Chains A and B, each alone.
Chain A
Amino acid sequence: MTHPENATEFLKDSQKAKWHDETLWFVRDKRDKVSKGIPEWEQLRDLASGIKDNVLANLADYLEEFERNATKNGIIVHWAADSEAHNRLVLEILQQQNCTAVVKSKSILTEECHLNPYLEKHGVEVVDTDLGERIVQFLNQPPSHIVLPAIHLKKGEISELFHEKLHTEKGNEDPAYLTQAARVHLREKFFAAKVAITGVNFGIAETGEFVVCTNEGNADMGVHLAKVHIACMGIEKILPRRKDLGVFLRLLARSATGQPITNYNSHFRSPSPEKEIHIILVDNGRTAQLAREKFRNSLKCIRCGACMNTCPIYRRSGGFSYNSTVPGPIGSILSPGLDLKKHSSLPFASTLCGSCTDVCPVKINIHEQLYEWRQEVTKTQGEFAKGLSMKLANGIFKSPLAYKISGSLMRNALKSLPNSLIYHPLNIWGKNRNLPDPPKESFQQWYRKNRS
């Protein structure tokens, strides 16, 4: 289904859609307030953007520096060209450990690689330990937001789900009660897991350490109890120096949830005695994106989700409407690079309002890249563009009203525009909107009569 079809479906439950919009707007508003609390906010964004530009321009060097230092620290470094290689590496480590049950803390990368179904197919139980992730996992759904994975669900729905899965009291919607039930359930899983998987927020080339940020402490709980820690990291997550974290940690928490600091920013540098740390550095389309000059800087993304919270489209269509692991504005510029045909409607799921660009803590010009992706989609006539041009052309030529109203405009414009000229197909326009009353004369006609 295309984005417009999914959005139309989402909006049918108008009360829930309104609630979704308001809930995410609340997060955006919190972000606005907290970001205005520090006078150097815009300088921090400039700095972060500059540091990431430097990283992308020297990515190979930083990655090798990271590998050298991490290896020195006793971390085992692996490289994965794509998702299959990544998943295979994880499975091999698990098999070496005879491990059939793992705990995993939130990692968008493992979602991107579809690690869970892969491991389950090979007989491994995977438990997502972030509360929101566990909830969507119970429902067999992907996360609908990269920071707030279960934001599409209301309290009542979670209460019902927990009643079924965790045998909580029917109808008890108290968040503290439900969270406690999840804690008890997850604790058992933590104790049983020999291996813990985490994502990585930042890898530090200078020191060979990496940083994982969570609010629930679930990454730490998993890692400290397990014998083996597997960290999965996209190759763009590198920072040159430890002190760069001073810029990024301040931006990340404020942009993501409006908190001044994430509850747990855990640094992992070397394994404890008798334990192992593996890190898998994953490409999976990132170097291809790096080679696309217009879209390169989408790799600066630190996955804060601020562009989703601010996006008037995302708030009113929900994460699932994008059909892409990373939804929202940033997903709409990352995903076409992975599969242009599948994601061809995403660059059009925007009014190009530019709010995403202005909240982005690393200053990715998201709305300009959406515009550029549109140009690419129409070149290859992605499915959506084909439909779009048909729809627009039909709209104008099929509707005599449209043709009449825009008549002189069309005549003038056609002098210099090609035949595929596109103007509003007034038939769709008029479904829920009135047309302006056609004036008796155009401005041009008035001017000729009155001024020349």
Chain B
Amino acid sequence: MKTKSPSVALFIPCYVDQFYPQVGIATLELLEKLGCQVTYPSGQTCCGQPLANAGYARDTVGTARHFIETFNDFDYVVCPSGSCTLHVKEHFPAIAGLEIEQEALEHKIYELIEFITDVLKIEKLEGKFPHRVGFHSSCHGQRGLHLSSGSELNQPPYNKARKLLENLAGLEWVELSRTDECCGFGGTFAVTEEALSIQMGKDRLADHLQHKTEILTGGDMSCIMHLQGIASRSKQELKFLHLAEILNQALS
């Protein structure tokens, strides 16, 4: 990647922009450390997923059109969220007149970790992070983008995030009882099925606490926002960081 600097556009999901600017900053700094030329197109808004998952995909045509136009001129679009990435790839409504641009976008948008491992072809990162880290496998990244193997499938185990994390000096990887059960965020599910959502979140947290997770990380702040919200309400001593924050800190 030293020889070629692809033009990379940063797509920062709306809730990350508003609630977790530090994750956006970490993503940007990390990509720059890895030699990318990164731009944040300022006109970006939201991918429309909350609306589509609530059953109003037909009302996201304007959002999708705006998104495609905003990111059209870049080699790659990189996003620190598996869920939003998957939405752009698979759930955008077909936009008339932008068929070619839309198809190109579906192939050039990447979740941050897969961009590092699959596009930049980085096998390992040299750095230090002396903590016990528990990984929350977010469903859309895992089962949708195949960022790691699923416990349901008969396939050789792999985990793109783990590969990067495990090379960091001092990092202890936490083995969980249920490696990839959903945390119960689920977008609007978090409010329409509030009781279930909370119970699922509590169960995930219990698994991490039982296995002595010090820092809970993952590729989607939406899941982490939900888990962190439950943990802080019950005053649990867990820390939460996005993968980008860990990698960016470790590399500094």
Contacts and interface: CB of A to CB of B under 8 A. Distances in A.
Given A374-B55, A375-B55, A436-B19, A417 B190 contact: no
A335 interface: no
A264 interface: no
A417 B63 contact: yes
Contacts of B62: 416-418
| Most B C-beta atoms less than 10 A away, residue of A32, A347, A408, A421 | A421
A348 B53 CA distance: 9
Nearest to B22: A439
Interface stretch (A104-112, A195-203, A286-294, A311-319): A311-319
Interface in B150-200: 150-155, 178, 180-182, 184-200
Contacts of B178: 25
Contact of A425 (B25, B40, B191): B191
Using C-beta atoms within 8 Å of the partner chain, give the interface range for chain B. Answer: 35 or more
Interface in B1-56: 12, 14-25, 28, 40, 42, 45-46, 48, 50-56
A95 to B, nearest CB: 47
A374 B53 contact: yes
B226 interface: yes
| Most B C-beta atoms less than 10 A away, residue of A4, A312, A445 | A312
A415 B54 CA distance: 20
A379 B55 CA distance: 8
A7 B188 contact: no
Contact of B196 (A4, A409, A412, A423): A4
B48 A378 contact: no
A358 interface: yes
Nearest to A387: B192
Contacts of A38: 154
B45 A415 contact: yes
B212 interface: no
Interface in A395-432: 395, 405-406, 408-409, 412-413, 415-418, 420-425, 428-429, 431-432
Contact of B56 (A352, A422, A424): A422
A438 B40 CA distance: 22
B144 to A, nearest CB: 7
A350 B56 contact: no
A220 interface: no
A431 B50 contact: no
Interface in A344-389: 347-355, 357-359, 371, 374-379, 385, 388-389
B17 A444 contact: yes
B232 interface: yes
B91 A371 contact: yes
A8 to B, nearest CB: 4
Nearest 6 interchain pairs by C-beta: A351-B186, A433-B229, A443-B24, A378-B55, A374-B55, A358-B152
Given A351-B185, A355-B181, 18 more contacts: A8-B194, A36-B154, A38-B154, A41-B154, A347-B55, A351-B182, A351-B186, A358-B150, A359-B152, A395-B191, A417-B63, A420-B59, A422-B56, A433-B229, A439-B21, A443-B21, A444-B12, A444-B17
25 contacts: A7-B193, A11-B199, A316-B199, A354-B139, A355-B139, A355-B182, A357-B143, A359-B152, A376-B55, A377-B55, A388-B55, A405-B19, A413-B46, A416-B62, A421-B51, A424-B190, A424-B191, A432-B233, A439-B19, A439-B21, A442-B17, A442-B21, A443-B21, A447-B42, A451-B40
